Amino acid sequence: MIDYQDLIAGLHQLGAQQSTLKQSSLTRWAEQLPEQIAEQLSLQRWGDLPQWQQSLAQLPALTPSSCDFKNAVRIGQAGDCSEPQRQALRAALMELHPWRKGPYQLFGLDIDTEWRSDWKWQRLLPHIAPLQDRLVLDIGCGNGYHCWRMLGEGAKRVIGIDPSPRFVHQFYALKSFTRKLDPDNLPIEEPPVDVLPLGIEHLPNELKAFDTVFSMGVLYHRRSPIDHLLELKACLKNGGQLVLETLVIEGDEGQVLVPEGRYAKMRNVWYIPSPPTLLSWLRKCGFKAPRLVDVCDTSATEQRSTEWMHFESLPDFLDPDDSTRTLEGHPAPRRAVFIAEC
Ligand SMILES: C[S@@+](CC[C@H](N)C(=O)[O-])C[C@H]1O[C@@H](n2cnc3c(N)ncnc32)[C@H](O)[C@@H]1O
C-alpha cells in the first residue's frame, strides 16, 4: 500500500501557513485526499492493482549510500547491493513495465526508459524561475521523473498528479528506497515529493496555492485547451509561474491542427497549435508575459523502444519514406516550452 500520510500532514502544515483566518484551499484538499485516493486506487477500477502492489512488496531491502536528483535521478550506487539483490530489484521493477519516462539509475541498475526525459529537463531548466523553496505542482507527471528533478533543484515540496496508477506505483517503487527508517522499519523522514493517482479534473477549484505549475505533454490530450489553461491558472498563486510543454505545429497566429483521426497512432490528440496561437491563448486566459523559450523536433534517439519499454515507439509512428510526417501524414512531433506568470 502506498502511504500518503507524510504528504497529507505536509499539506495541512502548508495550509495553516496559507491562511490562519479561513480554511485554506490546501487544508480543504488535504481533507478530501484520503477518499479521492481510495477511489482512484480501488481494485474495482484496476484489476492489475494486486500485481503492482506485489511488485512493490518484492523490492529488496536496500539503503542507498547517496542519491543525486540534481544531475540525474540516481538512487544508491552499484556497491550498495549484491548481484542477486540487483537481479531481484530488476525482476520486481520489470513487473511494472512499460517504463516510459526516465532514465533512472538504481543501485547500479540502469533503467533505460522509452523517453530521455532528462533532455526535456535540460531544455527548460535555464528558462524557469529557480525552484528553491517553491511549492511545485506537476500535472500529468507520468512516473514522476521530473518531480525528482524539481526536488533536486531545491523545491520545498513537489506534488505530481497522474491518473495512471501503474506510473504512480513506478514512482513509489523508487521512493521506497529514499525513506529514512527507524530500527523498527518505520519511516522517520522522507523526501517531500509525491505522486497522486489523480487527473487535473480531480483538483479542487481555485487552489491558488502553487509557486510553479508544470503541464508537460498534457495540453494536446485535453478536449478543451482553453479550459486546461484556465485550470492551470487556478492552481497558481498570484505571481506564480506556469511552465507549459506541448506539441506544436509550424505556423502563424490562428493556425492549429485538429487531427480528425489519429495523430502518430494516438487516438486522444485534440489540438496542436502553432506557437503564436498558443501565446495568444495564454494572453486571452490572463497570463502575464507569455513567452516561447524552446522548440525542438522529437528525434528517435529521444523517444524509442528499449528493454524497459518494448512496445512500439516514435520510429513506428512516422512515415517510413518521410520522417517529417506521421503515418497519418501530419507534421512529425515537434514540442515547445512556454513560460508565463499568473
Ligand atoms: C505525454 S505524458 C507526459 C509525462 C510527463 N509530464 C513528461 O512531460 O514527460 C502525458 C501524461 O498525462 C497523463 N494524463 C492523461 N490525462 C490526464 C489528466 N486528465 N490529468 C492529468 N494527467 C493526465 C498521462 O497519464 C500521461 O502520464
pLDDT at 23 over 80: no
Pocket test for ligand 1, best of 221, 235, 294 (most atoms within 8 A of CB): 221
- Closest ligand 1 atom to residue 163 Cα is 25
User: Which residues lie with the beta carbon below 6 Å from any ligand 1 atom?
Assistant: 101, 117, 139-142, 161-164, 167, 199-201, 216-218, 221
How does pLDDT run across 164-199, given as a tens digit for each residue? 999 999 999 999 999 887 777 776 789 999 999 999
Strands (E), 70-197: 74-75, 104-106, 109-111, 135-139, 157-161, 180-181, 187-189, 193-196
If one counts every other C-beta atom within 10 angstroms of the C-beta of residue 268, the result is 10
Task: Return the ∠ at Cα 220 (arms to 123 and 333), rounded to 5°.
Answer: 55
Q: Please state the atom number of ligand 1 nearest to the C-alpha of residue 167.
A: 27
* Bridge partner list, 56: none
**Pairing state between β 74-75 and 104-106:** parallel
Name the one residue in this structure whose C-alpha cell is 515529493.
193
CA dist list (Å): 117 to 5, 38, 122, 143, 298: 29, 29, 9, 11, 12
CB 324 within 8 A of CB 332: yes
**Mean pLDDT value of segment 20-44:** 91
Q: Answer for the pair 78, 85: CB distance below 8 angstroms, yes or no.
A: no
Q: How far away, in angstroms, is 5 Cα from ligand 1 center?
A: 24
Instruction: Determine the length of the chain.
Output: 342
- pLDDT tens digit sequence for 4-17: 999 999 999 999 99
What average pLDDT does range 311-319 have in this prediction? Answer: 96
Residue 231 has pLDDT above 80, yes or no: yes
Closest CA to 229 of 305, 88, 342: 342
Centre of ligand 1 to C-alpha 200, Å, is 10
Determine the distance separating the centroid of ligand 1 and the alpha carbon of 141, expressed in angstroms. Answer: 6
Q: How far is the CA of 142 from the centre of ligand 1 (A)?
A: 6
User: Which residue's C-alpha comes closest to atom 12 of ligand 1?
Assistant: 140
C-alpha 91 – ligand 1 centre gap (Å): 26
Whose CA is closest to atom 5 on ligand 1?
141
219 CA from centroid of ligand 1 (Å): 9
Residue nearest to atom 1 of ligand 1 (CA): 217
Pairing, β 180-181 against β 187-189: antiparallel
Give me the pLDDT at residue 37, please: 97
Distance 245 CA to ligand 1 centre (A): 11
Ligand 1 pocket test: which of 120, 158, 162 has the largest number of ligand atoms within 8 Å of its C-beta? 162
Ligand 1, residue 141: give the atom nearest the CA: 6
Angle at 283 between CA 282 and CA 288, to 5 degrees: 95
| Overall average pLDDT of the 246-272 stretch | 97
Cα–Cα dist 66/101, whole Å: 22
Distance CA 138, CA 51 (A): 26
User: pLDDT tens for residues 44-90?
Assistant: 899 999 999 999 999 999 999 999 999 999 999 999 999 999 999 99
Percentage of residues in the chain having pLDDT higher than 90: 94
